[in-house]
């Protein structure tokens, strides 16, 4: 009998969702969609498994935007008559931060919820929205188990030297450490590689999750050994609006010389930096690639430079490199960015195939290349669904 798993990714003003049909050990997408404009003018769209729009509506009166609770109520109401015969057996939530405590998905109870609330200071722009989605789901889908799936969990396999900062030990004990993020994406890619290229799946692979939020991960034998993101999702690569790696002395300068407070600095680093800050044009790589403005080219050059640099650093952390994988929005769709990165990584033994890259792969290195380069679409929602089933002991 078919059962359903609901996967939720709650952001500050949107909720993305996917409904999976689980039958005979297989997961199939029934519906996916999102509710955008939460708190202002909500817009609700649902697509079926073939990506056809099956429902769409909006609320013109902004007073109707009552936050995540209202949005989840609308979703629950629509879902009720559209679920498989056995109904909903669980809800999997993407939770950005699991702190130092959680290294695996877990069924949410009062203790877990309290712990997740204590991690808000570690992810102030993401964790509150994740918690709002959980709270709303518990209200409007009572009795349905909720499972927290963490973006940090996959990186808990890091060694001590990859995990800590050069600060006194008491800070590490308190939780000031390099967590890494995008773990659900990297875990999916690690699984996919076993099927796509078994020869490198057990080797040394750098995965580049390139999107509005960008990071990279070193996989050795399918396990995360290092990542470009650290204590927060600000570290490492430049992103759409986030700065990436920065000298802490710059922050001291901003406080002392520019008289900037914590909120001003937070806004600068999270919302006004990265590709948008460097170009002054856009945070969207598609706009930058089509622009003739030299500032757009400067932003692209900086983005590529940092990725090539981190590729070498992550290869060094593993003692070699067998494969390079591109995933997420930019990684899967921008042939230009992939080409620039691959050509910049030729010294590692990567022989680039321009024709394969123009066709978006999936393999974009030549047959004789010492380093295999792949384009592999990520599927964090499916990973969350699998984790939810496992936590509920359905598989």
- Based on the residue annotation, tell me whether 80 is a catalytic residue of this protein: no
Q: Long-range contact list for 253-258, CB < 8 A, 24+ apart? A: none
Domains recognised in the chain with CATH numbers:
3-150 (3.30.420.40), 198-380 (3.30.420.40)
Catalytic residue, chosen from 24, 48, 80, 151, is 151
Q: Would you state the pLDDT for residue 395?
A: 47
d(CA 386, CA 27): 8
- Tell me how crowded residue 189 is: count the other CB atoms within 10 A of its CB: 29
- Asked if residues 94 and 8 have their Cβ atoms less than 8 Å apart, the reply is yes
* Cα gap 377→185, rounded to integer Å: 9
The torsion of the CA quartet 321, 181, 88, 84, rounded to 10 degrees, works out to -40
Query: Which 3 state secondary structure label does DSSP give 5?
Result: strand
Of the candidates 2, 53, 7, 24, the one whose C-alpha atom is nearest the C-alpha of residue 382 is 7
In this structure, are strands 88-95 and 146-150 parallel, antiparallel, or unpaired?
parallel
What pLDDT tens digit does each residue of the chain (395 aa) get? Answer: 678 999 999 887 788 999 999 988 889 999 999 998 887 788 899 999 999 999 999 876 655 556 788 888 888 889 888 887 668 899 999 999 998 889 999 999 999 999 999 998 888 878 988 998 898 888 888 889 999 999 999 999 999 999 999 999 999 998 899 999 999 999 999 999 999 999 999 999 999 999 999 999 999 999 999 999 999 999 999 999 999 999 999 999 999 999 999 999 999 999 999 999 999 999 999 999 999 999 999 999 999 999 999 999 999 999 999 999 999 999 999 999 999 999 999 999 999 999 999 999 999 999 999 999 999 999 999 999 999 999 998 64
State the alpha helices, DSSP H only, in the chain: 68-79, 110-118, 127-140, 160-163, 169-174, 183-196, 198-201, 248-256, 262-271, 274-279, 285-290, 294-318, 328-333, 335-344, 354-358, 380-391
Token code pair at residue 299? 């932003």
pTM listed for this prediction: 0.93
């Amino acid at each position: 009998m078919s059962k359903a798993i609901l996967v939720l990714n709650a952001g500050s003003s949107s909720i993305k969702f996917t409904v999976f049909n689980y039958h005979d050990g297989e997961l199939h997408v029934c519906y996916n969609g999102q509710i955008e404009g939460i708190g202002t003018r909500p817009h609700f769209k649902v697509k079926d498994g073939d990506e056809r729009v099956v429902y769409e509506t909006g609320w013109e009166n902004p007073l109707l935007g009552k936050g995540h609770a209202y949005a989840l109520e609308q979703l629950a109401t629509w879902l009720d008559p559209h679920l498989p015969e056995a109904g909903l057996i669980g809800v999997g939530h993407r939770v950005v931060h699991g702190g130092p405590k959680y290294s695996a998905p877990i069924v949410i109870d009062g203790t877990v919820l309290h712990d997740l609330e204590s991690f808000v200071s570690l992810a102030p722009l993401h964790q509150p929205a994740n918690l709002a989605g959980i709270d709303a789901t518990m209200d409007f889908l009572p009795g349905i188990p909720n499972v927290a799936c963490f973006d940090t969990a996959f990186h808990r396999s890091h060694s001590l030297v990859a995990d800590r900062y050069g600060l006194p030990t008491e800070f590490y004990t308190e939780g000031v450490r390099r967590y890494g993020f995008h773990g659900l994406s990297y875990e999916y890619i690690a699984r996919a590689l076993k099927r796509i290229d078994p020869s490198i799946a057990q080797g040394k692979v750098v995965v580049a999750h390139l999107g509005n939020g960008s990071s990279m991960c070193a996989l050795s034998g399918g396990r995360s050994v290092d990542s470009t993101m650290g204590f927060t999702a600000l570290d490492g690569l430049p992103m759409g609006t986030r700065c990436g790696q920065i000298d802490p002395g710059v922050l001291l300068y901003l406080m002392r010389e520019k008289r900037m407070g914590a909120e001003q600095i937070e806004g600068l680093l999270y919302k006004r930096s990265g590709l948008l800050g460097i170009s002054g044009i856009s945070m969207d790589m598609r706009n930058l690639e089509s622009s003739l403005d030299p500032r757009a080219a400067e932003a692209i050059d900086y983005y590529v430079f940092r990725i090539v640099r981190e590729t070498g650093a992550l290869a060094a952390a593993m003692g070699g490199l067998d494969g390079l994988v591109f995933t997420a929005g930019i990684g899967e769709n921008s042939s230009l960015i992939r080409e620039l990165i691959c050509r910049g990584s030729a010294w590692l033994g990567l022989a680039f195939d321009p024709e394969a890259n123009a066709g978006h792969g999936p393999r974009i290195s030549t047959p004789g290349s010492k380093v295999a380069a792949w384009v592999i679409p990520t599927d964090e929602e499916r990973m969350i669904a699998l984790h939810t089933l496992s936590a509920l002991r359905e598989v």
